[in-house]
């Protein structure tokens, strides 16, 4: 009986952990962008500005949500593999050494959508529950 309870508890914890870490964001690009899907590795390279051109040669303009955003926290942990504080430190060091600047930040999902609509090379992320009308949602593979 004790083994059954332990096993059930383990299954419950795994199920809960999986649900709690489910993707809570969606990645968006300008509707004119021909990209349909993207890997987490490519997203990481884009948001760390190691990849600066789309496959068609056009410039990429990543846009972040404000650092206190729960969606940004989820995106940073899931895609960049680091928390928001570590990413901010990364960009402070890069700026200090002259190696680059952080992506532009917007305060809300609506502002990210507006930025992406107005910039053909833009890529951003918004809350999974936000209406993405007017922009294209990418499949993450």
For 16-55, write each residue's pLDDT tens digit: 443 444 579 999 999 999 999 999 999 999 999 999 999 9
Establish if 1 belongs to a structural domain: no
Considering only residues 13 and 44, tell me which one the structure prediction assigns the higher pLDDT: 44
- Which residues sit opposite 140 in a β-bridge? 38
pTM to 2 decimal places: 0.82
* Centroid of chain to Cα 130: 14
Tokens of 98: 């002259």
pLDDT value of residue 5: 46
Residue 117 to residues 17, 57, 122, Cα–Cα distance (Å): 35, 19, 8
Among 102, 107, 110, smallest CA distance to 85 is for 102
pLDDT value of residue 136: 97
pLDDT value of residue 129: 96
Q: How far apart are CA 126 and CA 123, in angstroms?
A: 10
Establish if 12 belongs to a structural domain: no
Establish if 29 belongs to a structural domain: yes
Establish if 8 belongs to a structural domain: no
Q: How far apart are CA 39 and CA 17, in angstroms?
A: 23
pLDDT value of residue 2: 52
Q: How far apart are CA 137 and CA 53, in angstroms?
A: 19
- Residue 123's domain comprises 23-140
Considering only residues 1 and 24, tell me which one the structure prediction assigns the higher pLDDT: 24
Establish if 4 belongs to a structural domain: no
pLDDT value of residue 92: 94
* 121 C-beta neighbours (distance < 10 Å), count: 18
Establish if 134 belongs to a structural domain: yes
8 pLDDT above the threshold of 50: no
pLDDT value of residue 22: 58
Three-state secondary-structure class, residue 60: coil
Mean pLDDT value of segment 92-109: 94
pLDDT band at 1 (very low <50, low <70, confident <90, very high): low
Look-up: residue for tokens 């200090």? 96
Number of domains present in the structure of the chain: 1
Q: What is the CATH number of the domain that holds 123?
A: 3.40.190.10
């Amino acid at each position: 009986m004790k083994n059954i309870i332990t096993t059930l508890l383990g299954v419950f914890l795994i199920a809960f952990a999986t649900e709690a870490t489910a993707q809570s964001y969606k990645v968006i690009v300008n509707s004119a962008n021909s990209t349909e899907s993207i890997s987490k590795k490519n997203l990481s390279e884009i948001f760390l500005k190691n990849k600066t051109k789309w496959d068609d040669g056009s410039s990429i303009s990543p846009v972040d949500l404000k650092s206190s955003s729960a969606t940004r926290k989820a995106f940073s942990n899931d895609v960049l593999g680091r928390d928001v504080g570590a990413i901010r430190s990364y960009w402070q060091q890069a700026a200090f050494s002259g190696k680059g600047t952080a992506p532009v930040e917007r305060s809300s999902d609506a502002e990210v959508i507006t930025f992406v609509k107005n910039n053909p090379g833009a890529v951003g992320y918004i809350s999974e529950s936000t209406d993405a009308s007017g922009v294209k949602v990418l499949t993450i593979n």
